[in-house]
Amino acid sequence: MKLKQIAQRLGLDLTGDGELEIAGPAPIEAATTGSIVFVSGPRYAGELESTCAAAVIVTAELAPRARCAVLISNDPAFDFARVLELFHPPYRPDPGIDHNASIANDAEIGEGAFIGAFTVIGAGVAIGRNAVIHPHVTIYPGAKIGDDFICHSHVSIREQVTIGNRVTILNGAVIGADGFGFVQRGNDLVKVPQVGTVIIEDEVEIGANTTVDRATMGATILRRGVKLDNLVHIGHNCEIGEYSRFAAQAGLAGSTKIGKWCQFGGQTGCADHAKIGDRVMVVAQSGIPHDVPENSVIGGTPAMDIRAWRRSSALAPRLPELARRIRALETRTGIRSDSKSE
CB atoms near residue 61 (< 10 Å): 11
Applying the rule CB under 8 A, the residues between 149 and 208 that interact with its own copies are 152-154, 156, 158-159, 168, 170-172, 174, 177-178, 180, 182-183, 185, 187-193, 195, 203, 205, 207-208
Q: How far is the CB of 60 from its own copies (least distance, A)?
A: 18
Q: Does 9 bind its own copies (CB under 8 A)?
A: no
85 phi/psi in degrees, rounded to 5: -70, -35
Judged by CB, which is closer to its own copies: 27, or 64?
Answer: 27
Q: Does 337 bind its own copies (CB under 8 A)?
A: yes
CA-based nearest residue to 165, from 224, 247, 104, 231: 224
Q: Does 313 bind its own copies (CB under 8 A)?
A: yes
Query: 226 to each of 108, 146, 173, 215, how far by Cα in Å?
Result: 26, 16, 15, 18
The binding track of 35-64 with respect to its own copies, each residue x by CB under 8 A or -, is ------------------------------
Q: What is the DSSP letter of 126?
A: E
Query: 115 to each of 17, 90, 91, 156, 164, how far by Cα in Å?
Result: 45, 17, 14, 15, 18
Asked if residue 270 lies in contact with residue 251, where contact means CB atoms within 8 angstroms, the answer is yes
Long-range CB contacts (< 8 A, 24+ apart) of 103-110?
104/141, 110/147
Applying the rule CB under 8 A, the residues between 62 and 81 that interact with its own copies are 75, 77-78, 81
Judged by CB, which is closer to its own copies: 60, or 84?
Answer: 84
Applying the rule CB under 8 A, the residues between 204 and 263 that interact with its own copies are 205, 207-209, 211, 213, 216-218, 225, 227, 229-231, 233, 235, 243, 245, 247-249, 251, 253
Q: How far is the CB of 50 from its own copies (least distance, A)?
A: 19
Judged by CB, which is closer to its own copies: 49, or 182?
Answer: 182
Q: What is the DSSP letter of 214?
A: P
- The size of the interface with its own copies (CB under 8 A), counted in residues, is 116
